[in-house]
A and B are shown apart, each in its own frame.
Chain A
Amino acid sequence: MTATAPVAPGPRPAARRPGMTLPGPARLLRLELRHNAMLWMLPVALALFWYNGYREIMALPPMWNLRAMTLQNRLLLDLAIPATGAAAWMGSREGRRNVADLVVGTARPRWARQLATWAATTAWAEVACLACVAVVYVMTARQASWGGPLWWPAAVSAAGVPALTAIGFAAGAWFPGRFVTPLVTIVVFFGLGFGTQAASGDHSYWQISPLTAGAFDIGAAPGVATFYRYLPDLSIAQVMFTAGVTLAVLGALGASTALNGPRLRSLAAVIAAAGLAAAGTGVALAGTGRLDPHGMIVIPALHDAASDQPVRYTPACGRTPVPVCVHPAFAVFLPAMTAAVGAELTEVAGLPGAPARISQVPEVYQQEPQNGITSLAGVPGGSAFILTDQVPGEPGATSAQFAGDLQDTLGLQLIREVILGGNASAAAARPSQAQLAVIAASVRPGAVWLGPSAADVSAPEISGRRLLALSGPAVRAAHRFAALPPAAKHAWLAQHLAALRAGQISPAQLP
């Protein structure tokens, strides 16, 4: 050791240009960023997201609403354990490393020191969060046929990260024992999971959970935030809540010890109080939510009426005898749709009562008690149809189911409109056996209803009568008609539709 120290030419920090010196807090932050446990947890966090969230999200159809809202459902859950655990670990660092006496005797307030460590942890956790968002959004941008990124779901997730790290860090700082890190991590993860299970109805306070994207029983549905804008009401309340939790916890950290001095403690207490107020306001606002007809949560105090206007779009139409037009977000399903109902379209094209084209319209929702939600529009009829909520790519939805749903709804709707005439009086009338036979034979699942196990199959109703209510001759007639190619069916209907509608055709007269 040198007593009088001419500064020897040893290792020196890199020379800095004049004016480039970082201020003390920035230097402290830079040190903390380099040595943060969250840096080591980044690969773990990204791997967990890839395994759990990313694969599920990418399996969804390339629709912005589906993927963004599912991202919000998943991302924080995947990040909760690495982020909260790393933050608790860093918070307990001074206790674990036996440096308490060293750091307590320094001038910089304890809160400033802690905030630097917390900020570094949060910065890396946000890097993980934003990286996950970026990957999902970039991939979706390449695949989606319409629309653009929904930023509010990403914003809610990003705002949730500081809350997770704040809770973890504070727990570790206050209780630097060996059990605290795993326990606080589990409790936070449990709380997030519990929050998603406890919501009930559109005005539940539990929907403040940052994992909740939209109405609980609808969630990420294809038709939500497609025809109408994504409403940020609930997202704003959630951001308010998570930001409030962050401020409250960090403020409590600063106010909880006399080591920070009276002025700083007062400031910390004010920040904590403001945070509590913000979080409480967010929760209260969530409790005023109501389900709007388009499937999203409206919070009156936060709602902008301009958001209620439908989004303008140019429909994507198939090239079929009766064009089927869908919202461009659903364009990727158009080939499957036209394949599913192509026969019906060929059969009815140009016939009296057949629409010139069929256009998709949005579903209309209504909140029922508890978590029940009903769709009010049903089968709109005429030239409008509502696409099923389960599109291929969603969990549990297959292409075969999608085709079957379309035939059950759109195909049946088309045939019924043409055969029965499509007006109110026709809908109220009891269809004849011949009419039912033609309808059953024209809709492809009708082949199932007419099969040996028809009695076991749940058939849709036509004017209050199930298609199964066919007598023996009508079943035979339906089989004969079903065997005809669509063009032949079309030709026969072109000649006999009026008589069929008038009830003048018997089953025996069907070809």
Chain B
Amino acid sequence: MNVDITDLTRRFGRNQAVAGVDLQAGPGVFGLLGPNGAGKTTLLRMMATVIPPTSGRLRLLGCDPGAYGPRRDVRRRLGYLPQNLGYYPGFTVVEFVEYFALLKEMPAARVPAAVATAVERVDLGGRAKAKLRTLSGGMLRRVGIAQAIVNEPELLLLDEPTAGLDPEQRVAFRALLRDLGQRATVVVSTHLVEDVGAACSEVALMDQGKIVFHGTPAELTARGTEHGTGDAPLERGYTAVLAAARS
């Protein structure tokens, strides 16, 4: 298991953003669904070792990231794309991805090729030398994906990765996810149920800091057969599960 979480919680003052989450995930694409404020981003940030949990057990890639040494090792094998992507506007696409490759302590000799590969994989080869300030929102998102995958991570955490991507790019991105999921654990947090349906082998649904559903997309769809509302089967399953959890 690349991700092994037991009873994980995180508080911000009085607000309990994550309230006792259990999760195990191996290689494959794992979707994380939930309404706004459900705790998805907080969970992802803990998995990205950006913030520590308040309590509970978290093991990533076989290591306990609570200690500095293992945490550093995890970060070398991790890729993370946050929900709000900041960037340095004066950097070019290549420079931005290279910067993060270096921060991830990739062997220097591998960096140029890895950067080129990552940029090509997100279809920005033609804009590799463009400054980030000249890129559209969708292109910036793809740059963010490139920096997350440059080190060929074993654990890839993506928070709203398809925000700003057009439908064609979303289709290509889902294919990329499936390809990455063959070797790594990919956790995708998203509002878009169709992304989950197309790319994920497993899905968890969070609400109010807890996981209220964990299964396959087909199982989620089945939950919406009778009680769900929505335009698509997965949406109906989503709403049915939430309604049941809140009742």
Contact = CB atoms under 8 A, between A and B. Distances in A.
Interface of A: 1-5, 7-8, 10-13, 16, 21-24, 27-28, 31, 34-35, 93, 97-109, 113, 261-262
A3 B173 CA distance: 8
A367 B102 CA distance: 58
Interface string B168-205: 01001101101100000000000000000000000000
B105 A28 contact: no
Contact of A27 (B49, B50, B104, B108): B108
Q: What are the 7 A-B residue pairs with the smallest beta carbon separation, nearest first?
A: A10-B125, A98-B86, A106-B103, A261-B68, A3-B179, A99-B86, A1-B172
A31 B86 contact: no
Nearest to B91: A35
Interface stretch (B10-18, B71-79, B216-224): B71-79
Given A2-B172, A99-B88, A107-B72, A113 B103 contact: yes
B61 to A, nearest CB: 13
A261 to B, nearest CB: 4
B100 interface: yes
A22 B75 CA distance: 22
In this complex, the member of A12, A13, A23, A106 whose beta carbon has the largest number of chain B beta carbons within 10 angstroms is A106
Contacts of B145: 1
Contacts of B175: 1, 3
A2 B117 CA distance: 10
B129 A107 contact: no
Contacts of A93: 88
Nearest to A29: B102
B147 interface: yes
A9 to B, nearest CB: 9
Nearest to B122: A1
A264 to B, nearest CB: 9
Given A21-B108, A98-B86, A3 B176 contact: yes
Given A106-B104, A107-B104, A108-B102, A12 B116 contact: yes
In this complex, the member of A5, A11, A16, A262 whose beta carbon has the largest number of chain B beta carbons within 10 angstroms is A11
Nearest to A10: B125
A11 B125 contact: yes
B244 interface: no
A84 B76 CA distance: 34
B88 A11 contact: no
Given A2-B172, A28-B102, A102-B86, A8 B120 contact: yes
Nearest to A261: B68
A52 to B, nearest CB: 29
Contact of B102 (A1, A31, A99, A262): A31
Contact of A11 (B49, B86, B116, B147): B116
B95 A21 contact: no
B226 to A, nearest CB: 36
A7 B176 contact: no
Given A10-B128, A34-B95, A109-B72, 8 more contacts: A1-B175, A2-B121, A5-B117, A10-B119, A24-B106, A35-B90, A35-B95, A107-B72
Contacts of A108: 102-105
A362 to B, nearest CB: 56
B78 A105 contact: yes
Nearest to A112: B103
A105 B176 contact: no
Interface of B: 45, 48-50, 68-69, 72-73, 75-76, 78, 80, 82, 84-88, 90-91, 94-95, 98-100, 102-109, 111-113, 115-117, 119-123, 125-126, 128-129, 142, 145, 147, 169, 172-173, 175-176, 178-179
A4 B177 CA distance: 10
B179 A99 contact: no
Contacts of B178: 3
B99 A31 contact: yes
30 contacts: A1-B173, A2-B123, A3-B175, A3-B178, A7-B120, A10-B128, A11-B94, A11-B125, A11-B129, A12-B116, A13-B116, A27-B98, A31-B91, A34-B95, A35-B91, A97-B86, A98-B84, A98-B86, A99-B86, A101-B50, A101-B80, A101-B84, A102-B80, A104-B50, A106-B100, A106-B104, A107-B75, A107-B103, A107-B104, A108-B103
Contacts of A104: 50
A12 to B, nearest CB: 5
B121 A28 contact: no
A271 to B, nearest CB: 19
A38 to B, nearest CB: 13
Contacts of A35: 88, 90-91, 95
Contact of B112 (A1, A5, A8, A12): A12
A7 B142 contact: no
B176 A22 contact: no
B137 to A, nearest CB: 14
Contacts of B129: 11
A187 B73 CA distance: 41
Nearest to B84: A98
A261 B50 CA distance: 14
Contacts of B102: 24, 27-28, 31, 108
Contacts of A98: 84-86
Given A2-B176, A7-B120, A28-B102, A105 B125 contact: no
Contact of B103 (A3, A8, A103): A103
A98 B108 CA distance: 26
A105 B75 contact: yes
B104 to A, nearest CB: 5
B65 to A, nearest CB: 10
B87 A105 contact: no
A105 B100 CA distance: 10
Given A31-B95, A102-B80, A102-B82, A1 B100 contact: no
B52 to A, nearest CB: 10
A5 B50 contact: no
Nearest to A13: B112
In this complex, the member of A4, A13, A101, A113 whose beta carbon has the largest number of chain B beta carbons within 10 angstroms is A101
A22 B80 contact: no
A107 B76 contact: yes
In this complex, the member of A97, A102, A103 whose beta carbon has the largest number of chain B beta carbons within 10 angstroms is A102
